[in-house]
Amino acid sequence: MTGNHEKAVIYMRKKRKDTAGKTAKGKAILLLFVVIPLLGIALGYGISKAVLIPYLTESQGEPAEPASGDKTPGDKQAPGTIPGPGEAEPEQTDRQVDGAINAYRPMFDVEGFQLYRIQVGAFSNEENALRLAEELNDKGLAASVDTEGMIKVYTHYFFSREEAEAALGKVRAQYSDAHISQASFPSVEIDFPGSSSPAAGLLKEQLGECRDMLIKITATDAAGGNIEGIVKEQKDRIAQFEAQISRTQWPAALEEYRDHVTDLYTAMLGSYSEYNHQHAIPGQISMELINCYVGLLERLSTVI
């Protein structure tokens, strides 16, 4: 019995070995003749779908050029062809017209800013507001009157709340109701139809530098620094801006913008010219210059 059992075990082991060999051989055949070809087909389909089919579609979608003197079906003009004498221009859809305009519509923003102003009074009567402004000047404090809506009187403008808070204590020592009033003057988009123009780039560059000049002189003045050299430097720079504008060829669509910017420079040059270092009130010239720039933003926002 023991011998028969051992023979049976040996036989079963051999049978399992043979079966495993046949199974491995079958898997190899399946891999070689079925799986690999299927992977090749799938890969080829993916490449065709991603590259070849779109390429062929684009090629077939391009209109064929008509032979010289021939008309396209329906006697309609082929896209991109030039009408002959007496032939009407092809009609364009609204979408095509808008797309053509927007493709050649240069635009840029005239940057605005957040302004922090110390307000010392508000009146319904302008005469009272002007009287307070004169009083502020007599006390060595800058003054500006805003006549839009309720007439307000401010002393000192700042581009940061920290600077405004640092100056508020000195003002409150004389005007206990003084407080910080925040104002937002948003950027204005200059948007005009027409081909690209060097004039548009000139305006963008000049107005960006002009805004930086305002920030510089305001910060220096607020810190108690000597701004005499800055005033001269900026005055000369604004004069250069005016000269550049006069030498530039202006598209009709930009002429109104140009005129408003020229008015800004004229007003700024007036403030620079009136500045006298020996008798200047700290903060007064920077307030005047900022008011000039704010006036420009307001005027540009009305240009259609």
Q: pLDDT of 45-99, one tens digit each?
A: 666 566 555 555 555 444 445 544 444 444 545 544 555 555 555 555 555 544 4
Q: What is the mean pLDDT of the chain?
A: 79
Q: pLDDT at residue 100 above 90?
A: no
- Tell me which of 30-44, 45-59, 279-293 is least confident: 45-59
Residue 64 gets which letter from DSSP?
P
Which residue matches tokens 């600077």?
A: 163
Cα–Cα distance list, 251 to 38, 173, 197 (Å): 65, 54, 8
pTM for the structure as a whole: 0.65
Angstrom distance (rounded) from CA 179 to CA 208: 30
Domain 107-300: CATH class, spelled out:
alpha beta
150-203 pLDDT per residue, tens: 999 999 999 999 999 999 999 999 999 999 999 999 999 887 665 467 888 899
39 or 113, greater pLDDT? 113
Q: pLDDT at residue 23 above 60?
A: no
Cα–Cα distance list, 264 to 145, 201, 229, 235, 258 (Å): 19, 18, 21, 13, 10
The predicted pLDDT at position 1 comes to 45
Q: What is the mean pLDDT of residues 268-294?
A: 95
Domain residue extents for the chain: 1-30, 107-300
215 or 194, greater pLDDT? 215
Q: pLDDT at residue 42 above 60?
A: yes
124 or 84, greater pLDDT? 124
The predicted pLDDT at position 5 comes to 44
117 or 4, greater pLDDT? 117
**140 within 8 A of 282, measured Cβ to Cβ:** yes
148 pLDDT tier (thresholds 50, 70, 90): confident
Q: How far does CA 163 lie from the centroid of its chain?
A: 28
The predicted pLDDT at position 109 comes to 85
SS3 128: helix
Angstrom distance (rounded) from CA 297 to CA 189: 10
Q: What is the mean pLDDT of residues 31-57?
A: 61
